[in-house]
């Protein structure tokens, strides 16, 4: 019997598998397809990403360094309001490569990580869980002391355990052009209903375009309008769901959720790579597979760390739906040098931000 059966080997699942294996636990991780495929997530992350990777990852995965963002209330040719730092704000990375790198670290730590294993059933018992999966060699059933659901916005584990859904699911679209662009600013457009669109230069790797908004909106048509405004050809396109708003509980007697399955994401950007891996670390640190009572410690730990960030993130997102004149006034007033951290909206009230604002 495994200590943990992890369903999903994206950043949060691979991170949990690695850290739990390093802590001496016996871990099985099951990934539905090939790790990192299909791509459905942006590769724009904070520089904190390198705290979660192994040696040489930066040289292997880094595509561009970003110093700031241009915010537009309208399309590509509208007036831009620049926000910047004097040092690198964020990095653009090879997103598929990141997933594979993190999965390799989990394997090196001792986790039994199996690709092309689709989980078809999860049964929770008083003293164990049974996870059934369909793999290349047929149907397999594995027993574990606990199951970890790291299987994304439409989590099968979450459904099987009867845990509540995220507050909402946004529909995101990504497209890539092959135009080389060494710029060190991203562009953000507050034109998508209740969210935004973006353009991220990836140096010689091309440019990423994206847009997200609530289901029911014409997301593909809005994305086509964005791309047409830049007059570029999209050579590759993909889409996915973005969970926003974690439910009130993400654990049961023998199960827990991490990452997108638990909607551990930033409400104002939809990004969840760093939040998900941070929560995976909290889970490994607090949960004892032989003592289900410790799951309550995980619930407390990750919420104590991120609840304020998520709550403030919701308020920031509300600004995306303000009337255009109000948005323009606010952006004009606040633009310039900043001291905030892109993963921590509470840094808006930091000494660094105050100093930058006064400058």
CATH number at residue 70: 3.30.9.10
Residue 52 in domain: no
Phi, psi values for residue 89, rounded to 5°: -85, -45
Q: Do 214 and 106 meet the contact criterion of CB atoms below 8 Å apart?
A: no
Is residue 359 one of the residues assigned to a domain? Answer: yes
φ, ψ for residue 72 (rounded to 5)? -120, 135
Residues 99 and 159 occupy one common structural domain: yes
| Beta sheet of 90-93, edge-to-edge order | 44-46, 90-93, 62-66
Whole-number pLDDT of residue 5? 98
Q: State the pLDDT confidence band at 102, using cuts at 50, 70 and 90.
A: very high
- Residue 151 shares a structural domain with residue 217: no
What whole-number distance in Å separates Cα of residue 135 and Cα of residue 143? 16
Assigned domain for 49 exists: no
Indicate whether 176 and 237 sit together in one domain.
yes
Instruction: Say whether both 7 and 38 belong to one domain.
Output: yes
Q: How many helices (H) and strands (E) does the chain have?
A: 9, 18
One domain, residues 34 and 19: yes
- Asked if the structure places residue 56 within a domain, the reply is no
121, 235: one domain:
no
**Of the listed ranges 19-33, 93-107, 227-241, the one predicted with least confidence:** 227-241
295 pLDDT tier (thresholds 50, 70, 90): very high
In a domain, 58, yes or no: no
228 domain-assigned:
yes
Say which CATH number the domain at 2 has: 3.50.50.60
pLDDT in tens, 317-340: 999 999 999 999 999 988 998 888
DSSP string, 90-104: EEEE-HHHHHHHHHH
Per-residue confidence (pLDDT) for residue 353, from 0 to 100 = 67
Whether residue 213 is found in the same domain as residue 303:
no
Q: What is the pLDDT of residues 157-201, one digit of tens each?
A: 999 999 999 999 999 999 999 989 989 999 999 989 999 999 999
DSSP string, 133-191: EEETTEEEEEEEEEEEE---TT-HHHHHHTPPPPSEEEEEEEEEE---B--SEEEEETT
- Rounded to the nearest integer, the mean pLDDT of the chain is 94
What is the structure's pLDDT at 305?
97
Q: pLDDT value at position 34?
A: 94
Of 65, 16, 45, the closest CA to residue 272 belongs to: 45
pLDDT at 349: 77
pLDDT at 345: 87
Q: Structural domain tally of the chain?
A: 2
The secondary structure of 50-100 as a DSSP string is GGGS-TTHHHHHEEEEE-EEEEESSSTTS-EEEEE-SS--EEEE-HHHHHH
Same domain, yes or no, for 121 and 236?
A: no
* For residue 125, pLDDT beyond 90: yes
Least confident of 42-51, 73-82, 130-139: 73-82
In a domain, 119, yes or no: yes
Please check whether residue 59 lies inside any domain of the structure: no
* 204 and 308 co-located in one domain: no
C-alpha to C-alpha distance for 184 and 34, rounded to whole angstroms: 32
Q: What's the confidence (pLDDT) of residue 354?
A: 67
Supply the pLDDT for residue 155: 97
Residues 338, 265 share a domain = no
pLDDT score of 140 more than 70 = yes
Domain that holds residue 237: 66-90+168-242+322-359
In this structure, are 174 and 266 located in the same domain? no
Confidence band (pLDDT; 50, 70, 90) for 294?
Answer: very high
Q: Do residues 175 and 229 share a domain?
A: yes
């Amino acid at each position: 019997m495994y200590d943990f059966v992890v369903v999903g080997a994206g950043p949060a699942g691979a991170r949990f598998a690695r850290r739990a294996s390093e802590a001496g636990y016996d871990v099985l991780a099951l990934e539905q397809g090939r790790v990192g495929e299909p791509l459905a997530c942006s590769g724009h992350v904070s520089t904190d990403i390198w705290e979660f990777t192994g040696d040489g990852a930066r040289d292997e995965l880094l595509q561009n360094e970003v110093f700031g963002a241009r915010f537009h209330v309208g399309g590509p040719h509208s007036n831009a309001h620049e926000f910047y730092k004097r040092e690198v704000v964020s990095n653009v990375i090879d997103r598929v490569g990141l997933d594979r790198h993190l999965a390799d670290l989990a394997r090196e730590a001792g986790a039994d990580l199996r690709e092309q294993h689709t989980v078809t059933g999860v049964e929770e018992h008083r003293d164990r869980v049974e996870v059934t999966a369909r793999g290349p060699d047929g149907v397999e059933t594995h027993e574990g002391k606990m199951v970890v659901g790291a299987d994304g916005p439409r989590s099968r584990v979450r459904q099987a355990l009867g845990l509540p859904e995220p507050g909402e699911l946004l529909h995101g679209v990504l497209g890539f052009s092959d135009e080389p662009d060494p710029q060190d600013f991203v562009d953000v457009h507050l034109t998508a209903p209740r969210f935004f669109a973006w353009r991220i230069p990836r140096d010689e790797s091309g440019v990423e375009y994206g847009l997200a908004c609530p289901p029911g909106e014409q997301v593909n048509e809005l994305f086509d309008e964005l791309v047409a405004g830049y007059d570029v050809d999209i050579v590759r396109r993909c889409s996915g769901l973005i969970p926003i708003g974690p439910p009130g509980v993400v654990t049961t007697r023998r199960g827990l959720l991490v990452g997108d399955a638990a909607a551990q994401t930033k409400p104002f950007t939809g990004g969840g790579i760093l939040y998900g891996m941070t929560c995976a670390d909290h889970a490994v640190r607090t949960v004892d597979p032989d003592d289900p009572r410790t799951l309550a410690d995980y619930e407390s730990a990750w919420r104590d760390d991120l609840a304020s960030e998520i709550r403030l993130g919701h308020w920031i997102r509300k600004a995306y739906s303000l009337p255009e004149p109000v948005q323009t006034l606010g952006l004009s007033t606040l633009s310039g040098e900043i001291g905030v951290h892109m993963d921590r909206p509470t840094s808006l009230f930091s000494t660094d931000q105050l100093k930058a604002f006064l400058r």
